[in-house]
Chain A
Amino acid sequence: RKEVEQDPGPFNVPEGATVAFNCTYSNSASQSFFWYRQDCRKEPKLLMSVYSSGNEDGRFTAQLNRASQYISLLIRDSKLSDSATYLCVSSRSSNTGKLIFGQGTTLQVKP
């Protein structure tokens, strides 16, 4: 079993739709969590960090549930430019800065 698991999709949604991705992690020592975005044939880029209190950045909302060990990402009012792969990422409480990446969930927003 992978340490960080995501549904690879693809999720095909129309413009303007709301879409939610979930991710589960198996290592309870995981402390920090992130969503990265990776466009086709490009490098991953940080989308947002995820906090227990939940955090929002424009149309994007991230949530962390430590009891159930899952992380979510909600995208409201989807744009064509949101089409990408979204990577769920965890980091353990150690002094290495090591990130564990999920396989990624592919989103395709259609006109």
Chain B
Amino acid sequence: DTAVSQTPKYLVTQMGNDKSIKCEQNLGHDTMYWYKQDSKKFLKIMFSYNNKELIINETVPNRFSPKSPDKAHLNLHINSLELGDSAVYFCASSSWTGEGDTQYFGPGTRLTVL
């Protein structure tokens, strides 16, 4: 009965590779997010989708491309991985009211770029 799930949990890859992280939520929420938590522990939003529509796109390199096939899924594809991409990536979801509603986070994907 996992609420927000992410795969894989760990990802170790070489510089220059392309990789994807998948996220699924079974909470019936209509908004999903991707966050990056770096080594200094700052959690920063990258993207947000509401009903499959992109509503937040922070200053993120265009090597990062989110895709939302439906309300319950939000995937993150990263091209040409760089050392600085090493971080924990969290997916989250919430109901949409426009205010800062409770966001439920997935367990995170720990990405290490060698």
Interface residues of A (CB under 8 A from B): 31-34, 41-46, 49, 85, 87, 89-99, 101, 103-104
Determine whether B31 belongs to the interface, using a CB cutoff of 8 Å to chain A.
Answer: yes
Query: When A and B form their complex, what is the total count of cross-chain residue pairs whose Cβ atoms lie within 8 Å?
Result: 65
Minimum C-beta distance from A43 to chain B (A): 4
A45 to B107, CA, bound (A): 10
Q: Are A43 and B107 in contact (CB under 8 A)?
A: yes
State the 10 A-B residue pairs at the shortest beta-carbon distance, nearest first.
Answer: A91-B100, A43-B105, A32-B100, A95-B98, A101-B43, A46-B102, A96-B56, A44-B105, A32-B99, A96-B55
The answer to whether residues A89 and B100 also contact, given A44-B90, A101-B43 and a CB cut-off of 8 A, is yes
B14-57 contacts to A (CB < 8 Å): 31, 33, 40-45, 48, 50, 55-56
